[in-house]
Structure 1
C-alpha cells in the first residue's frame, strides 16, 4: 500500500491546500528561478603591489562555495503576485512572524527565542521606561536586561534568565515582558501574570529561524536566517498592510549563502505611507515558511541611510564585554586614520553603552549596533558591509584585540591620520588588502596589564598564523559571503597582500582573560573551544586542547620573538596606559 504524507497543520488550516500551492499562487508560477551553478568556485584574485616579507603566508583561496546562483532577475511586472488576505488570523498562520500577545495588562507585541545557556531573548515594541521583568508560565519570573534597539525593526531587545521552575515545562511559551511603568516590578515579581497560550518560544539551538533583516539603499532586503534546509526554489515572503487589508507577497530570492539571503524589494503599499511595517520570512514551495523574528520599516531604513560624509576608512568589529579593551583600540586606530567605528554588541554586560558615550563626547565617531544573536559573526559582518556602503570606502575587519601597525612608523614622534593612506593607495582593480596577522603571547602576564594590551604584551610567535583585511565596500560581491574576516569580491576586483602594514593580534593574553574564549565562539563556522573537533585548527591555541583549566606555564607560552615596537611607539605617542579611563 502506498504511503501518504501526513498533511501538515498549516495544510489542514487552509482546507487541504498546501503552502506550496499558495507560494505558487503568490510567486512566479512555480518555475525554478535558479540555475544551480555555484556562485563562486575559483580562488580569490591574487597579486601584490609591494614586495612581500619572506614569512608572509600565501594568499588563501576562498574556502566556501555558494549554494546557488540566480538566473537573470525577473522583470518588475512578473516579480510579484501579491494577494489580499481577508482573514488576518490566516495570514498569521501562513507567516508566523509576529505573535500578538493576548494578555492584559499591558497590551504588547513581543517575540522570544531561547538562546544557549538558558537565556531568553525578547523583542518588544514598547519604549523602555524603567526596570522590566520576564514573566514565565507557572508564575516564575526573572529580571529583563535591555540590550538595545534593533536597527531594522526598531524593536527593543531584552535578555532574561530562564528560571529553574520554567525549565521543567516540555513546551515552553514565550514570556511576558512587564515594565515598571505598567506594574510595580516588586508586585509583578510576587504575582506575575501567566503568558497567553499559543505563544511558542522558539529554540535557537534547534529551530530554523529568520532572525533579522535590513533594507538596503538600492531597495534589496537582506534576510538573516539560520537552519535553511533547502536553497533551490527559495522564496522571500512579505506580509504587510496596504491600508485596506493584510497583503502577502512572494518572490524568488536573488541569492542565498551562509546565513544571508538577498531578496528583491517588497511592493510599496499605496495608502499606508513610508512607515509601513513589513514582516519577512523565507520559504520553499511545498514546505511551511520559516518562523521569523524579522520586521523592518521603510521609514527607519531611509532615515538611517542618510550620511553627510563618506569616510575613507572605517572599522567594523563584533564583541561581548569589550569595554576593557575598546578605549585603547579606538583611540589608537582613530589616531592613525580610521574615521568611523561600528561595534556589533553581542549582549555585553559591562556598560559598553556608557563607554561609547564617553568616546563619542571626546570626538570619536562610534556607532553601536545591537546584535544579540549567538554564533552568527559572519552574518553580522555581512550586515555591516552592506549597510555602511554609503558611509565608508574601505572597511577594516578586525577585532578589538587586533591593532593595525607598520614598523616604518617606529621613528615617528606623533601619530597622523594619514598613516594608513599608503596602504589603501592601490590600483582601482584592488578590492581587498590582506594584512599578515602576528599572534602575541601572554608575555609573563598573570592578569590584565594595567597599561593595556599593546603596551603589556611584548613577545609573540615568530611567523604569522592568519590574516585580516581591509575591504573596499563597493567591491564586495552582492551575496556578501565572508569567512575569517575577508569577503568574496565582484569578478572585476582582486585581493592582494601588502607589506606596508600588519596586524598585531593580542590573542594569547593572561589566562584570566583568555579563558573567556571557552564560553562561546562568535563564528558560525568555528567550533567552540570545548568541542573536541578540529583540534589542530589555527583558530585554537596550539597544544591547549578543550579544557578551560589553566595549563602549567601558560604565562611563558608562545613567546618566540621579542617585539616591543608598538609598546614603545604608543608610549611615546600617548603615554603609559592611554586606554585607561581618566
Structure 2
C-alpha cells in the first residue's frame, strides 16, 4: 500500500527556491552604494544645519597645553672668572632651555668659600649687567665678592644655586680656536712674556682634557710657537675628531714645564671651530674691513661707521670690551640700517693685542685688507681718493703685506662740550708733528705667531710694510677731546703693555697726555691745549659730502642738533686762532727758560 504522495521521500528542490550567486552579488553592491549615499547625504545635511563652526571630535586628540607639564626654566653655570672689580659668571644654557636671561631674572648670590653645598647664602645683589644676545654665550657681571666669599647666580624664583669653579684672571687660559692648519691657538694671561719677542717653546707644553682637577688623563702636545699672550699648539687627533659646539667640554691650557700641576694655567678655553678653509682662496668677499676694540663708544660709533662706509669700508668687527653704555643698541641700529657690523663680546682686561690677533683670524676668510684703528681715529685722504684706490695701487705689489699711515693728534680745538656735529667737524686744531702710525694689513701675510703691538703686526717671510705718503692717506686721531670725554681714558687702558694712567709706571709714555700726571683733574687751559696747526681738511670733506641739503644735518646727527652751522664755524675759527697764539707763546717761554 502506498502512502501519501511525497511521504518517505526527500523533496526535490525547485529552481525558484535557490538564490543565484550573481543575484546575491548585485544585491550586496546595491546595499553598499545606498548606504554610502545615505551617509554622504547625512553628513552634508548635518554640516548645513549646524554651520561651519562645527569642530570634529578628532581635533581633541591634539594634546591640550594644560594637560602637558611645562618644563621649568633652569640655569646652569659653567664657571666664574674673578676680575679686580667684578666677577664674570658664564652661563651654560642648554638648547632644551633656550632662554635668554635678563637682569630681572637673576641675582648674584654670595656664599662662604667653604660652603660647598651653597645651602647658606650670605646675601644677594643685582647683577651689574648681562652680556650676550643668545643663550649659548651669556655672561653675568656681578660685583666682586669680599674676601672669603665666592659668587654664583640663581633665578629669583628658585632657591637652587649651582656650585661652580672660580678662577682668578691673572693665571688663566681664556680663549682658544683651531686654525686652518689644525693647530690650536690659545690666548692666555699670566705668563708675563716679553713684548714683541718670540719665547722658547721648549719651556712649555699644551694640555687638553675634559677634567683638569687631575692631571692623570690630560693629553699633552708640543708648543709650535709662543709670543706675548698667544700660544700655538699641535692639536691631538682625538681632539680634532671630537664634536665641537656651544657645549663643547674639551678644554686646553698651557703648562710651564718643571712646575708640576701648579704650572698649568687654569682654563676656561674650549677650542672653537676652525676659522676658515684649509685652502684659502685668492678672492675675498670684502676688499676693506675694520677691526676695533671699543669701550663706551656708543655715541661716536654712528659717525665712525657711516663716514668709513663712504670712504670704502665694507665690514666692521667691533670687540666690545665691557661697555656699559648703549654700544650694543647703536650696533644693532647700524645693522638694521644695512651696515655690515658685528659685535663680539670680549670681556678680557688689557688684551688689545690678543683681541686684534683674534679679529685678524676672523676677518681673514672674507677680507682682503683689514685696518686696525680705534673709534676715535678716522682715515683721511687729503688727495680726495677713496680707500679702494689706495689699496688697489698697493695690491699691485705682491710683497706688500701692511700699509702704514701716520697719525695726527687733534686737541679740544677750543671746545668745552661734545661737538653736536661729530668729531670730524668739531675738532680742527692739532699738533704739528705726527705721532706713531696705524696699519692696514693683508691678513694672509701675518706671521704665524700673530705678534702685534697694536700699531702694526709681524709679517711672514716675503712680505714687507710700506709707509703711505701723507698727501695720500693719514689718520686723524681725535685723541685729546673735550674733558668730559677725555677723562674716561684714566679709567683703564686696553693695551697689554701700557700702564693705566692712574699708576705711576711709564708716566712719560707717548700713550699719556703730557703734564696730566695720574689724577683726572681738568687743567684750566685744557680746551686750548694741543693746538698748533689748524686743519680743516677732513671737516671740509665731511660737510661737502654728508650734509643733507634739506635738513642741513649730518647723517649721524639727531633732529634739533643742527643750529646755525656758519655761526658755529666762525666762532670756532676765532677760538682756534686764539689757541694757536697761546701755544706759540708757551713755546717761546720754554725756549727762553732753556736759553737762560
Alignment of 1:216-235 (within 5 A): 216-228=179-191, 232-235=202-205
Alignment of 1:308-387 (within 5 A): 310-387=285-362
Q: Measured at CA, do residues 428 and 195 of structure 1 come closer, stay the same or move farther in structure 2, by a change above 3 Å?
A: same
Aligned residues of 1:450 and 1:577 also touching (Cα < 8 A): no
Distance 2:108 2:504 in 1: 35
Q: Which deviates more from structure 2 when the two are superposed, residues 510-519 or residues 285-294?
A: 285-294
Distance 1:143 1:319 in 2: 25
Distance 2:369 2:505 in 1: 35
Distance 1:425 1:282 in 2: 38
SS of the aligned residue for 1:281 comes to strand
1:82 is aligned to: none
Aligned residues of 1:149 and 1:370 also touching (Cα < 8 A): no
Q: Measured at CA, do residues 297 and 526 of structure 1 come closer, stay the same or move farther in structure 2, by a change above 3 Å?
A: closer
1:571 is aligned to: 543
1:51 is aligned to: none
Distance 1:395 1:155 in 2: 26
Q: Which deviates more from structure 2 when the two are superposed, residues 564-573 or residues 127-136?
A: 127-136
2:378 is aligned to: 403
The structure 2 residue matched to 1:148, chosen from 132, 139, 142, is 132
Distance 1:483 1:272 in 2: 35
Q: Which deviates more from structure 2 when the two are superposed, residues 538-547 or residues 141-150?
A: 141-150
Aligned residues of 2:153 and 2:162 also touching (Cα < 8 A): no
SS of the aligned residue for 2:496 comes to coil
| Shift, 1:366, TM fit | 0.8
The structure 1 residue matched to 2:171, chosen from 208, 232, 241, is 208
Q: Measured at CA, do residues 381 and 270 of structure 1 come closer, stay the same or move farther in structure 2, by a change above 3 Å?
A: closer
Alignment of 1:446-485 (within 5 A): 446-485=416-455
Q: Measured at CA, do residues 347 and 581 of structure 1 come closer, stay the same or move farther in structure 2, by a change above 3 Å?
A: farther
| Shift, 1:581, TM fit | 4.7
SS of the aligned residue for 1:555 comes to helix
Partner deviation per Cα, 1:9-44 (whole Å, 9 max, x = no partner): xxxxxxxxxxxxxxxxxxxxxxxxxxxxxxxxxxxx
Given the alignment of the two structures, is residue 258 of structure 1 paired with residue 240 of structure 2, yes or no? no
Number of equivalenced pairs: 447
Alignment of 1:531-542 (within 5 A): 531-542=503-514
Alignment of 1:169-188 (within 5 A): 169-170=147-148, 172-173=149-150, 175-179=151-155, 183-184=156-157
Aligned residues of 2:80 and 2:152 also touching (Cα < 8 A): no
| Shift, 1:466, TM fit | 1.2
Let me know the Cα RMSD of the aligned residues.
Answer: 2.9
Gaps of 5+ in 1: 1-103
1:123 is aligned to: 90
1:31 is aligned to: none
What TM-score, normalized by structure 2, do the two folds share? 0.70
Aligned residues of 1:447 and 1:513 also touching (Cα < 8 A): no
| Shift, 1:363, TM fit | 1.6
Q: Measured at CA, do residues 295 and 270 of structure 1 come closer, stay the same or move farther in structure 2, by a change above 3 Å?
A: closer
Q: Measured at CA, do residues 279 and 530 of structure 1 come closer, stay the same or move farther in structure 2, by a change above 3 Å?
A: same
Distance 1:130 1:312 in 2: 38
Aligned residues of 1:423 and 1:501 also touching (Cα < 8 A): no
Aligned residues of 2:239 and 2:250 also touching (Cα < 8 A): no
Given the alignment of the two structures, is residue 521 of structure 1 paired with residue 493 of structure 2, yes or no? yes
Distance 2:75 2:265 in 1: 26
| Shift, 1:193, TM fit | 5.7
| Shift, 1:493, TM fit | 0.9
Higher helix fraction: Structure 1 or Structure 2? Answer: 2
Distance 2:379 2:209 in 1: 45
Given the alignment of the two structures, is residue 444 of structure 1 paired with residue 414 of structure 2, yes or no? yes
1:7 is aligned to: none
Partner deviation per Cα, 1:405-460 (whole Å, 9 max, x = no partner): 11111xx8xxx674543564451111111100000010011121111001110100
Partner deviation per Cα, 1:46-74 (whole Å, 9 max, x = no partner): xxxxxxxxxxxxxxxxxxxxxxxxxxxxx
Aligned residues of 1:402 and 1:503 also touching (Cα < 8 A): yes
SS of the aligned residue for 2:316 comes to strand
2:397 is aligned to: 427
Q: Measured at CA, do residues 124 and 551 of structure 1 come closer, stay the same or move farther in structure 2, by a change above 3 Å?
A: same
Aligned residues of 1:237 and 1:248 also touching (Cα < 8 A): yes
Distance 1:434 1:280 in 2: 36
The structure 2 residue matched to 1:390, chosen from 360, 365, 369, is 365
1:133 is aligned to: 107
The structure 2 residue matched to 1:111, chosen from 65, 72, 79, is 79
